[in-house]
Amino acid sequence: MQEDYGVLPVLDHFNYLIDLLGHIKETEDLLQSMPPAPNIVSWTSFLEHSKNHANPKLGRRCYNNFVSLDKEDASRVLD
């Protein structure tokens, strides 16, 4: 995107990509390599992947990241 169009990707671009990726490993690799730090939206999108793949271990990792970002927002995710 940056090379072809001169547009520097921002967090929203990465969050859209997280929504689009279907493979857990690819999504997790993206989260770990993103230049902007993942936010609660990033982890919520990833949590949806864990629900779709019935992966409670992944869900727990997502939740731990929610809590590290903002305990109040993390509690709303569980509602």
Residue 11 neighbours by CB distance under 10 Å: 15
Share of residues in the chain with pLDDT > 70 (%): 87
Name residue 58's amino acid.
L
pLDDT value, residue 46:
84
Give the residue, 34 or 67, on which the prediction is more confident: 34
Give the residue, 8 or 75, on which the prediction is more confident: 8
Instruction: For residue range 9-25, list pLDDT tens digits in order.
Output: 999 999 998 888 878 88
Q: Give pTM, 2 decimals.
A: 0.72
d(Cα 47, Cα 63) in Å, to the nearest integer?
A: 8
